[in-house]
Structure 1
Amino acid sequence: MKTLRTLLLLAGLALTPALALAAGTGWVTHVNSQPSGPEFFLGIDKETQTFFMFGKRSPLTVLRKLVCATGQAEGDKQKEGDKRTPEGVYFVEEKVPGKLDFALYGDRAFSLNFPNPVDRLKGKTGHGIWIHGRGKQLLAQDTRGCVALSAQDIKSLDGQIPSGTPVVIAKKLTWSKDQGSDATAQHLSERVRQWAGDWQNKRERFFDYFQPEKFAQTEGVSFTQFKNHKLGIFARQPWIHVMVDNVRAIQGPDYWVTTFDQYYRTQDLISAVGKRFYWQKEKDGAWRIVGGEYVDAPTAALETRYLRSKQPEVDSLLKGWLESWLAADIDKYMAYYDEDANNGRQHGAKAIREYKQALWTSKTPVRIAADKVEVAIHKQGLKVSFEQIYEDSSGHADRGAKTLVIAPRGDGWVIVSEAWGKS
């Protein structure tokens, strides 16, 4: 997998609808500022042999504009050796390692993910499409399909093109500073979030987001196998959490690409990954996933964002639990506990209930507070640590370190273990 640093940058731009798409004429597109698209990307205008580096600086700005060279043959790349430069949305994979032929490639090259999933569905073949330098004189339309810059120009870009950078290659690419609006970009961004929610909730409609035949072709596994594998996980796991973040949308010739970071949890597995989904519109008007790509994502950063997203749920649980405790409302209090919960002395909800009822008969709580709350990952769910302050009607008061382990149940959480130590 390649490190997807750019997924952390994707915010703020999108591509407006393609202006033309035909095998003989090539893809013509226009880019402008839009909230659902990438904040940083590269653009290649084959017609004018121009390389653009775009960034959103309120408004969209051309950070660099350089002369480039593309394939010797006109049109979109179809097959290995046709000397055409592909047209569509691609992503920088990595800086090509090793010593290069300086005359042909200069001393720097960046590989692109051609053919992407939609290219493969169309039967396009070939490999080794790079953005690279040129040690000899740079001439227009003089490559075998790559995008070439002068050796001096590509050297000046070193360190500015991270892995995962989107690259829009079109026959004709125009741009404007205006903030555009694209309902499809917003719709697909929301579809990704809905997809994650249906996955987390183990809903059957999770599978409706995919175009079965095309997805099976690009993934190399039958859709029945894919579906049965997921259904097996749904059955085995008591809970699944799926968080998606940095969801962005980029338009290609007859498809869209959504990019996002994903943090996935079950009792048995935690994974952080960057994803790209390729979407095409079906005859029924619905956009469905026809292929995907998976790249590295920063696990620690995603875990932090996941915990931050769960903080309101933890706060709500603590608030309700403490209020029911203070009110000595045994039914409400016990509703926060799993049937098999333990508190170090009592094991099982029944034993905890009996202990608390007996205690509250003679000593009712008069003050309970939680201070310095911290939340961390735990195999069963989350570990919630805090300083507990307690006083009861007998005059007894204490302060100590309390740790709750909570597990997901439905749309909420329940306490599965409770530990306290006097400070």
Structure 2
Amino acid sequence: MRIVRLFAVLAIMAMCATQALAASGWEAQLAGHPLLPQKFLAVDKDAQTFFIYGHKSPLRVIGSYPCATGQRPGDKLEEGDLKTPEGVYFIQGKLHRKLDWTLYGDLAYPLNFPNPVDKIKGKTGYGIWVHGRGKKLLPRDTQGCVALNTPDLRNLADDLTPGLPVVISKHLDVATGQDRDDAAELNEAVERVKSWANAWQRRSDEFFEFYDPIKYDQAHGGSYAAFKTRKHRLFQRHNWIRVMTHDVRVVPGPDYVVTYFRQYYRTPGMVSEGIKRLYWQRSSDGKLRIVGREWVQTPRTLDDVYLKRVSAEAGEVVEAWRKAWENAEMDAYLGYYAYGAEQGERLGVSSIKEHKAALWQNAKPEKVAFGQDKRYSLTSEGVAVTFEQQYQADNGFVDKGVKHLVLRPTDEGWKIIREEWRAI
């Protein structure tokens, strides 16, 4: 019963706060910051104007157009209230079905209303679009959508791509050449994304500390427990998980921050890629926590970017392993192998150690040199690298060959799981 009462109290508090904000309206502060999207849309409801902003230094207006928003003022709270929502939204795509020409022209782009924070606040409704108009465009003349003259919207069609952010506010307070008051919070949000991805890769329980379970339940229909259970199972199932966040961007909302990025996810048996959006709010302990998320699966485009990143990481390990080998530092050398590593016919670190100890007793390495042309490739086990190797011992023994290594990511870094060599 206490938990039920707590949820009820929190719901009432959230509704009161939402109504208070809705009454006054949100005034979005727009100023330059390197982590803002390179392009985004903004709607000033007071001015009934639709803007396209570009951010390449400084923040600048690419275009502006007259628009119409909801018939009633204020933030949208419930279905049918004829208000346009205020906050951060994203273009979902383009509608391809026949539309009512008078109301919508022949173009419409749905937005992701209600977003996760809207759901936490108890907002209801659906079908909020950016659309055209077949009749004369009049201010404040929609049922909650954002309408533009159809010719203007047609001119913008190439810009209205899926995933493009749309900031809708009562009033836009624009300072294109000034620093943001909330710059520290935007930087913090992006750093939290990096720490979140790192905890996920480590399959650590710290991953769950980035979430607000109560608000996540409100945003996603009480699914936090199932989400946590599913993640725990994946942590136990996979030997390793890699999560790459690419081109992280941040957009501040009324009382939340949205980070979004391309997410590249890889396990021994799976590769996926898509757009991840994380909604952050500050908790009672002062930390930004994830209260909701959205995921859009996309075709894979980042294999080469990921390979370049892991090649640099694995390359540092290979070079450190080479130095330990050349200096006959047994403990350091063995530390770069996974426990059950294969080295030719030898299996396991103890077998590798026994073999090297016998060799180094009679002749220690004097020079171990690798060719500059290292060829990296992705495998289901991790990453493989092939290169030429020259070896010289202090008793005059010399050989030359091609070395092939397969490395696997672990919590301690990349480890060699297989080593093969052939003479040339």
TM-score interval w.r.t. the shorter chain?
0.7 to 0.9
Are the aligned partners of 1:54 and 1:63 in contact in 2 as well (CA < 8 Å)? yes
TM-score by length of 2: 0.88
Instruction: Give the drift of 1:131.
Output: 0.8
Structure 2 counterpart of 1:254: 255
Instruction: Give the drift of 1:30.
Output: 2.1
**Structure 1 counterpart SS, 2:40:** strand
Structure 2 counterpart of 1:33: 32
Matching residue's letter, 2:257: W
RMSD: 2.3
Structure 1 counterpart of 2:157: 158
Matching residue's letter, 2:231: K
Question: 1:398/1:98 Cα in 2 relative to 1: closer, same or farther (>3 Å)?
Answer: farther
Residue 335 (structure 2) pairs with residue 341 (structure 1): no
Deviations 1:316-372 (CA, angstroms, capped at 9, x unpaired): 221222123223344433332233222233233333333333444555444322221
Q: Which moved more, 1:87-96 or 1:350-359?
A: 350-359
Are the aligned partners of 2:22 and 2:76 in contact in 1 as well (CA < 8 Å)? no
**Structure 1 counterpart SS, 2:263:** strand
Residue 367 (structure 2) pairs with residue 367 (structure 1): yes
**Structure 1 counterpart SS, 2:92:** strand
Structure 2 counterpart of 1:167: 166
| Whole-Å separation in 2 of the counterparts to 1:374 and 1:272 | 24
Instruction: Give the drift of 1:297.
Output: 4.5
| Whole-Å separation in 2 of the counterparts to 1:40 and 1:32 | 13
Structure 1 counterpart of 2:320: 320
Deviations 1:282-311 (CA, angstroms, capped at 9, x unpaired): 33333221111011345332x333333333
Matching residue's letter, 2:315: D
Q: Which moved more, 1:168-177 or 1:380-389?
A: 380-389
**Structure 2 counterpart SS, 1:30:** strand
Q: Which moved more, 1:61-70 or 1:175-184?
A: 175-184
**Structure 1 counterpart SS, 2:346:** coil
Instruction: Give the drift of 1:240.
Output: 2.7
Structure 2 counterpart of 1:274: 275
Deviations 1:176-206 (CA, angstroms, capped at 9, x unpaired): 2213232111111111112222222233332
Matching residue's letter, 1:313: E
Structure 2 counterpart of 1:113: 112
Matching residue's letter, 2:84: T
Instruction: Give the drift of 1:25.
Output: 2.5
Deviations 1:148-191 (CA, angstroms, capped at 9, x unpaired): 11111111112112111100011111312213232111111111
Structure 2 counterpart of 1:15: none
> What 5-or-longer segments of structure 1 have no aligned partner?
1-19
Residue 74 (structure 2) pairs with residue 75 (structure 1): yes
Q: Which moved more, 1:216-225 or 1:252-261?
A: 216-225
**Structure 1 counterpart SS, 2:304:** helix
**Structure 2 counterpart SS, 1:173:** strand
Are the aligned partners of 1:261 and 1:297 in contact in 2 as well (CA < 8 Å)? no
Structure 1 counterpart of 2:9: none
| Whole-Å separation in 1 of the counterparts to 2:48 and 2:230 | 47
Structure 1 counterpart of 2:3: none
Question: 1:21/1:80 Cα in 2 relative to 1: closer, same or farther (>3 Å)?
Answer: closer
Are the aligned partners of 1:195 and 1:206 in contact in 2 as well (CA < 8 Å)? yes
Structure 1 counterpart of 2:6: none
**Structure 2 counterpart SS, 1:225:** helix
> What 5-or-longer segments of structure 2 have no aligned partner?
1-18
Structure 1 counterpart of 2:5: none
Structure 2 counterpart of 1:8: none
**Structure 2 counterpart SS, 1:178:** coil
**Structure 2 counterpart SS, 1:22:** helix
Aligned residue pairs, count:
403
Residue 128 (structure 2) pairs with residue 129 (structure 1): yes
**Structure 1 counterpart SS, 2:301:** helix
Are the aligned partners of 1:21 and 1:253 in contact in 2 as well (CA < 8 Å)? no
Are the aligned partners of 1:21 and 1:27 in contact in 2 as well (CA < 8 Å)? no
Structure 2 counterpart of 1:3: none
Structure 1 counterpart of 2:190: 189
Q: Which moved more, 1:358-367 or 1:66-75?
A: 358-367
Structure 2 counterpart of 1:419: 420
| Whole-Å separation in 2 of the counterparts to 1:268 and 1:415 | 19
Q: Which moved more, 1:98-107 or 1:57-66?
A: 98-107
Structure 1 counterpart of 2:148: 149
Deviations 1:49-78 (CA, angstroms, capped at 9, x unpaired): 100000013211100011111112222122
| Whole-Å separation in 1 of the counterparts to 2:229 and 2:361 | 53
Percent identical across equivalent pairs? 44
Matching residue's letter, 2:295: Y
**Structure 2 counterpart SS, 1:367:** strand
- Counterpart mapping for 1:184-263 below 5 A: 184-263=185-264
Instruction: Give the drift of 1:224.
Output: 2.7
| Whole-Å separation in 1 of the counterparts to 2:370 and 2:282 | 51
TM-score by length of 1: 0.88
**Structure 2 counterpart SS, 1:24:** helix
Higher RCO structure (Cα 8 Å, ≥6 apart):
1
| Whole-Å separation in 2 of the counterparts to 1:337 and 1:289 | 37
| Whole-Å separation in 2 of the counterparts to 1:269 and 1:183 | 36
Are the aligned partners of 1:42 and 1:166 in contact in 2 as well (CA < 8 Å)? yes
